[in-house]
């Protein structure tokens, strides 16, 4: 327990210094301009781009003879709620959307778990921390990230009981409290920065990661491996 507390203090101090370095980043404006499209495929590409960039606003104008607005709305729903349960980092940050449409117009307004400024600070801070967790092998690097998250994050019971809302990797990194999707998205962000293929998996009201290593996919669950008495490895690099 003493060593765990010491490692946690060091990790928190490092994050605090990193955040202070990036706190002056200016948020990018997310206000969209209306875009004309001429096919369903083009509209779907704009929806993909908006999710990948975590845009707040998408406005599409089109001719009803060329574009089926209902096809775009169906595609939108499948994009933010993948039926496979395998999610990108951006899909995990999705919190909801509002949709206004007619036969020649579609406006989508997304809500995300992070503000644009929070996402930029989070992304930059993880980018600075990630090189310090690189090990002699890729396996060691994955393990270092897993262990660092378990050491510096506690499971947030307040969110479970509705007294807080800590569902993001940002919460895990800077507040050191999160529920499973916060653990999973923090791990995902580190893997993205380190160039290791990884996704967030969801099901049965839980979130974890799958990571590509040595020609196969493996399950990594930082939440369940983070115990009060220390780190266990029951859910680390297990087969899927």
Torsion of CA 13, 171, 137, 124, to 10 degrees: -80
The CA distance from 116 to 161, in Å, is 27
Q: In the predicted model, is pLDDT for residue 142 greater than 70? A: yes
Q: In the predicted model, is pLDDT for residue 96 greater than 60? A: yes
Structural tokens at position 107:
């406006």
* Helix %, strand %, coil % of the chain (to 5): 50, 25, 30
> What pTM does this model have?
0.82
Q: What's residue 220's pLDDT?
A: 98
Q: What's residue 23's pLDDT?
A: 44
The CA distance from 85 to 40, in Å, is 25
Radius of gyration of the chain (CA): 19
Q: In the predicted model, is pLDDT for residue 13 greater than 80? A: no
Mean pLDDT of 142-149: 98
């Amino acid at each position: 327990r003493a060593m765990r507390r010491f490692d946690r203090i060091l990790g928190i101090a490092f994050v605090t210094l990193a955040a202070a370095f990036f706190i002056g980043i200016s948020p990018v404006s997310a206000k969209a301009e209306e875009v004309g499209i001429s096919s369903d495929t083009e509209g779907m590409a704009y929806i993909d781009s908006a999710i990948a960039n975590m845009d707040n606003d998408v406005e599409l104008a089109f001719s009803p003879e060329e574009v089926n607005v209902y096809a775009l709305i169906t595609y939108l729903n499948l994009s933010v709620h993948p039926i496979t349960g395998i999610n990108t980092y951006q899909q995990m940050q999705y919190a909801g959307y509002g949709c206004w449409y007619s036969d020649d117009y579609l406006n989508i307004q997304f809500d995300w778990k992070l503000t644009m400024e929070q996402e930029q600070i989070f992304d930059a801070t993880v980018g600075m921390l990630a090189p310090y967790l690189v090990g002699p092998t890729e396996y060691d690097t994955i393990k270092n990230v897993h262990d660092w998250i378990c050491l510096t994050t506690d499971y947030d019971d307040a969110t479970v009981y509705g007294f807080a809302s800590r569902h993001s990797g940002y919460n895990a990194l800077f507040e050191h409290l999160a529920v499973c999707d916060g653990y999973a998205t923090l791990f995902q962000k580190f893997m993205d920065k380190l160039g290791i293929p990884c996704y967030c998996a969801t099901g049965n009201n839980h979130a974890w990661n799958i990571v590509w290593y040595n020609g196969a996919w493996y399950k990594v669950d930082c939440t369940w491996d983070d115990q009060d008495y220390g780190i266990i490895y029951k859910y680390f690099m297990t087969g899927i």
